[in-house]
Structure 1
């Protein structure tokens, strides 16, 4: 009789494990309170920036940081602003080399996003506003855009 750990360790198929998730950095600002909490005649403009960073930290281990920055404004007056860096440590086994980078930069942020989204929704609600539920993010499209930007920079550097 064998135990489940031994069986999973010897399996030749791909294995992805989430080892840890954590808030690396977080801030929420409500700079014009209590005035900003009064009923507003207009809906706020909300802007959100997303960034993903990942590094290998061991033979099979990777750290990924998902950064979400945003603010809500009305007539250039900030109602609230936030910045969250939410991290995770993941382990990859039996993944082909060409699939490692896309897995780290697409799939791991996709796993982290729902937790980061909830942290921001709770902070905005606790700041006195209706919760902000960020729309799902297409990390695959974000990855392709970043690769295209890097290729354009390399092509520009070659021409210069």
Structure 2
């Protein structure tokens, strides 16, 4: 029985995933409250938009995955009053081998962002703190749910019934 277990394990594809590099491609932070001379009490209402992108690089088995965040902080008492804006494009270069072709797209848009997110969260926290606000500690992002939502959105846009 141990032999069949070893045989089955030997047949399973060996997935290799290495982070080659991570970097901030683009970053913008605007302290609108300070620019307009705003003072007094504000009640922050933070909205975060997340966009993901992945592409194959020229080198074999190398991919680039980026997480783009658009963070807008408005005053709850006056939604027209912006407090700060932050836009960041954070990318990672990955070496990926052993992932079947039909599973590569979800792998790139779920697993790779999961690895990048803790570093991106730290940068967002530091930038908001350095910009004169309490550190913004982002909640975890469910990249699998984002992926499924995007698939459903695309299917609805093309008129196809959602897959169950």
TM beyond 0.5: yes
CA apart distance, 1:32 = 2.7
Q: Distance in 2 between matches of 1:13 and 1:73?
A: 47
Partner residue in 2 for 1:24 = 25
CA-based RMSD: 1.7
Bigger Cα displacement from structure 2, 81-90 vs 70-79: 70-79
Q: Determine if the alignment matches structure 1 residue 52 to structure 2 residue 55.
A: no
Partner residue in 2 for 1:66 = 67
**Residue 142 of structure 1 is aligned with which of 133, 140, 146?**
146
User: Where in structure 2 are there 5+ consecutive unaligned residues?
Assistant: 1-12
* 1:7-156 matched pairs, under 5 angstroms: 13-33=14-34, 35-36=37-38, 38-40=39-41, 42-58=42-58, 59-74=60-75, 75=78, 76-155=80-159
SS in 1 for 2:94: strand
User: Where in structure 1 are there 5+ consecutive unaligned residues?
Assistant: 1-11
Q: How many residues align?
A: 144
Deviations 1:121-153 (A, max 9, x none): 111111111000010000000000111111122
CA apart distance, 1:99 = 1.7
* TM-score, scaled relative to structure 2: 0.82
* TM-score, scaled relative to structure 1: 0.84
